[in-house]
Chain A
């Protein structure tokens, strides 16, 4: 396989005495949609900013598209579309004006600019919003606009920081459709998200916690290699059982999903203990691991930094 599009080694970023990113190493391969997940404050945005050369690492090295960052950040910026977590387009300008600005900055000629903007507006259903000011628009509309702006210049690498937060489920599906189309066409995407169904769809996934990478690999492998078993308890009013089960030795996490309880355990041997702790009318069964289970078990410690 070809060189990784982004290669990060031993990346560390300190703000004063606080270490926001600690010895992170990861690789993002060409043509993939790479998911980037982790609890709030785990250091995803900070890592991304260092990849874009917007922050200088305390130590470690970053290579993007074969160029080292921050040294060659200026060159790299011509090939990267970056969608910021906080909305950063000009609120007092219209959608079209914002896009025209970005096209000009990237050296698009007049004709190419007009064509490309129309194309993107069409693609993201932004035509009715095109000549309205961005400021008063809804959260989801702004996300769509920002995403459109990021892909506007057809960059070979897209770094999207929470592109789907505030976005309705239908638009979310459409966006993910776009992501895979782009990946199919040869682009590479790094996408952060807090939504596990989105994480599940990625080719590969990196999980961060408290500034460190705690899980990294393809989604299937992460699930396979999870050193845990998921048991499902059902058959009645389960809510009162949550406390009883979570205090048991060997239980990693307990989560109620509607009328069932999902119990994340180290292994299936705990089944008997659970059975003794709860009334006999309930049934216990082993179910397949989801990526949420991977996330929960990887980020259990101090998830609220």
Chain B
């Protein structure tokens, strides 16, 4: 009992010390709030404007009720907005070429006849500026746009059959995907970065000789250093989810408790990883380099930027070892699909084991010595 309470006293001592230092470190302190804010706004808005309300021009030679309905329905998808009219297909082409619009929709005089004929003719043509791939793919999806009383397709026959129906995110609102992704990205970034320097900093600033000459045990040191960052992680989580809701109307479909619990486990996993880096790195600069080494694959391979399924097998294997990949699945599941505990438990288990593993490794690697 006595040993436990004195152990807790030492953990508290480390916690208080860390918080005191954190408060003094203006830059770090600002990062806690500034990083989620900046990234959310940058990613959220830039991706937001790209796939919604893309300006297009229309050249309507049919000028019928059929073509008007087609134009209305295409706009109703919110992907495009008709900003200009063109008199002929050549004009349309020039407009796209000059960047006046991102795409041109040409509706020929006989488009209604083509629609009801059976020979697979496209009813309209969409000329797309392919230089921006994100935009282009959003526009290409219009080709399979489900148009009733029938379907419109510039690319395929009988669009009613092959129309692409987008589950969960019919309007292609990528911020629904981005905000949960950013939650993982920001937590990885700040949590790993903060703890990666936590221990080398003591060494570099010459505090280590004092620290290890005190009765603080390694595990107490590690835990004492973790706790303040757990709180910081929770603050960041709140900022991201709240702003995500406020600015981008990203609702949480699933359970809040499951979401918060998963974030907590993820925060711990990242902190453990950071501590390991901190015991490996020779100095603060080295810790930063190691951090980048972990951070890049976390962005590129976790499914945040590119779909996991489309990656080569090697990349998938690497991705499986990163906490971010598992968190990505969990958080998109909970926020977008109302996933239940059963659906995410293997990923949660991985994160929990990852934390235990890294913390153990950090404790084993850390030497209370100077040689």
Contact = CB atoms under 8 A, between A and B. Distances in A.
- A and B assemble together: yes
Interface of A: 15, 49, 52-56, 73-74, 77-78, 80, 82, 84, 86-93, 97, 100-102, 104-107, 133
10 closest A-B pairs by beta carbon, nearest first, are A104-B13, A88-B210, A82-B213, A105-B13, A55-B371, A92-B24, A107-B6, A84-B209, A105-B214, A77-B215
Interface residues of B, number: 29
Contacts of A106: 214-215
Contacts of B25: 92
A230 B91 CA distance: 110
B13 A101 contact: yes
Interface of B: 6, 9-10, 12-14, 16-17, 20-21, 24-25, 205-217, 368-371
Contact of A105 (B10, B20, B21, B208): B10
Given A93-B21, A105-B10, A74 B215 contact: yes
Given A55-B369, A88-B206, A105-B10, A93 B212 contact: no
Contacts of A54: 209, 212-213, 368-370
A295 B357 CA distance: 54
B350 to A, nearest CB: 34
A105 B205 CA distance: 20
Contact of A89 (B6, B16, B207): B207
A91 B213 contact: no
A84 B210 contact: yes
Contacts of A88: 206-211
B206 A56 contact: no
Contacts of A86: 206, 209
A105 B213 contact: no
A90 B201 CA distance: 11
Contacts of A90: 17, 21, 205, 207
A87 B206 contact: yes
Contact of A56 (B211, B213, B217, B371): B371
A96 B215 CA distance: 20
Nearest to A50: B371
Contacts of A55: 369-371
27 contacts: A15-B371, A53-B369, A54-B209, A54-B369, A54-B370, A77-B213, A77-B214, A80-B213, A82-B210, A84-B213, A86-B209, A88-B207, A88-B209, A88-B210, A89-B207, A90-B17, A92-B21, A92-B24, A93-B17, A100-B16, A101-B17, A104-B16, A105-B13, A106-B214, A107-B6, A107-B9, A107-B10
Nearest to A13: B371
A29 B249 CA distance: 74
A276 to B, nearest CB: 54
A93 B371 contact: no
A84 B368 CA distance: 15
B370 A104 contact: no
A234 B195 CA distance: 66
A105 B207 contact: no
Nearest to A90: B207
A102 B213 CA distance: 11
B21 A102 contact: no
Nearest to A92: B24
A107 B4 CA distance: 11
Given A54-B212, A102-B214, A105-B214, 4 more contacts: A89-B210, A93-B21, A105-B216, A107-B6
A56 B6 CA distance: 27
B203 to A, nearest CB: 11
A107 B8 CA distance: 9
A98 to B, nearest CB: 9
A97 B20 contact: yes
Nearest to B210: A88
